[in-house]
Chain A
């Protein structure tokens, strides 16, 4: 008999190796969360610089009150799917609010951001269609593509001419064509060159989906994401986003203007065959969307904080994931062992960042990934820079590449 776990032995060995270096970077526990930017970890108060809590919105009194009220009025869970007993007036209200925020005719919410990608991709594309996806796409995009059964063509990261070439090769195959890119890429913080992709769209004709998971609420005059920032919203057919970052909750959405958009509710298995988000989650998300609209200064503060961290790291001579300022500032490290050592040293000194190791990273890079929050003070940002400086001075870091 073949043990089904045999294939995971390699992972177990790698995990053991990490533990032997004195770090459990993938099993960290926050003992208490004090605020959007502070937690108690291993008994120490720690500055959180890897939470994706871009708007710093997880402890807002009105959001919490809205969640508590919904919990009391509507109970702990919906115990059903949106197409059965799980649609409440508040689910519809949140979808309408989001459609308004995004300036799109239609919006559908999903139980997580992961499921939003599964649901949109598998709802839009089928076995006769082709999906062209960026090589560095998030796993939820890969999984949604697989679930769709569509033909999958991977193009080089952020390379519109590579996409052009691949579209040309498969010009006459019939079926729909969907191109998928992300607003801000989660590992390196780089944006998709949207204007280049739109030019290719005008040449070949396809439908375009942008996953704005890390850019929704963050980029653009209205906080609608990269397409808003780039002034290209009319050229984007479908937007995907999540509530787990700038909204500070859990859930996801897809939006668009297509007259048949709502048919996805009857075609998308990740929408139909899972329970709808709980009342408390919907209520806090709704309050948070309204807050994003009412308080654009959060976005401005985030941009200022992001630039401060980015420039501070540059001044230390660190190799960064990309040259544009975004709330994701990733430091490229030489190898796995030194990355784990640095991560550990930073945590002991009181700052938590994400660690990202191959194969989950572009180009096999070892990354210490920071995400900035509007709730960080300048002192917080400066402390993060100082601690990175000290870790560099301790000799853990040799400039990579």
Chain B
């Protein structure tokens, strides 16, 4: 399993409590639009991601992060840096 897949699996687990409509999660799933999650919940979800990986994901980065795959890239990039 590549690092990318690993991160994807973890993100899906962390996303589960926010995915109230229980929509099937794919790399291309748009976190806000497809799952109908409001902007505050997206920030709360990202906080869980930050804590799980012990990294910072500044809010500025979020405006360009739409899909789960986008977020995988952000997390993996920051894990390498840290």
Contacts and interface: CB of A to CB of B under 8 A. Distances in A.
* Same assembly: yes
B2 to A, nearest CB: 26
19 contacts: A135-B47, A151-B60, A152-B58, A152-B60, A153-B58, A154-B43, A156-B47, A166-B56, A169-B54, A169-B55, A169-B56, A169-B82, A170-B56, A358-B38, A359-B39, A359-B40, A359-B41, A360-B40, A364-B41
A359 B58 contact: no
B55 A152 contact: no
Contact of A152 (B40, B47, B59, B82): B59
A364 B43 CA distance: 13
Interface string B36-63: 0011110110010000001110111000
B62 to A, nearest CB: 9
A85 B4 CA distance: 58
A156 B44 CA distance: 9
Given A358-B38, A359-B40, A359-B41, A153 B59 contact: yes
Given A135-B47, A156-B47, A151 B39 contact: no
Contact of A151 (B41, B43, B58): B58
Nearest to B46: A154
Interface string A352-385: 0000001110001000000000000000000000
The 9 nearest A-B residue pairs measured at CB: A359-B38, A152-B59, A359-B40, A151-B58, A169-B56, A152-B58, A170-B56, A152-B60, A153-B58
Nearest to A145: B59
Given A145-B59, A169-B55, A359-B39, 12 more contacts: A135-B47, A151-B58, A153-B58, A153-B59, A154-B59, A166-B56, A169-B56, A170-B56, A358-B38, A359-B38, A360-B40, A364-B41
A169 B50 CA distance: 11
Interface string A183-212: 000000000000000000000000000000
Of the four ranges (under 10, 10 to 19, 20 to 34, 35 or more), the interface on chain A belongs to 10 to 19
Contacts of A135: 43-44, 47
B82 to A, nearest CB: 8
Contact of A154 (B41, B47, B55): B47
Contacts of B38: 358-359
The SS class assigned to the A binding surface is mixed
B74 to A, nearest CB: 14
Contacts of A359: 38-41
Interface in B4-50: 38-41, 43-44, 47
Nearest to A133: B59
A3 B80 CA distance: 41
A166 B58 CA distance: 11
A153 B40 contact: no
B77 to A, nearest CB: 15
Nearest to B55: A169
Nearest to A7: B33
A360 B39 CA distance: 10
Contacts of B39: 359
Nearest to A155: B47
Contacts of B55: 169
A359 to B, nearest CB: 4
B58 to A, nearest CB: 5
A153 B54 CA distance: 13
A359 B82 CA distance: 33
A400 B41 CA distance: 20
A254 to B, nearest CB: 22
A153 B56 contact: yes
Contacts of A145: 59
B67 to A, nearest CB: 18
Interface in A261-302: none
Between B44, B47, B55, B59, the greatest number of chain A beta carbons within 10 A of the residue's beta carbon is seen for B59
Contacts of A358: 38, 40
A284 to B, nearest CB: 35
A344 B58 CA distance: 40
B5 to A, nearest CB: 25
Interface in A141-161: 145, 151-154, 156
Nearest to A166: B56
Contacts of B56: 153, 166, 169-170
Residue among A145, A154, A364 with max Cβ neighbours from chain B (10 Å): A154
B15 to A, nearest CB: 16
Contacts of A130: 58
A179 B47 CA distance: 17
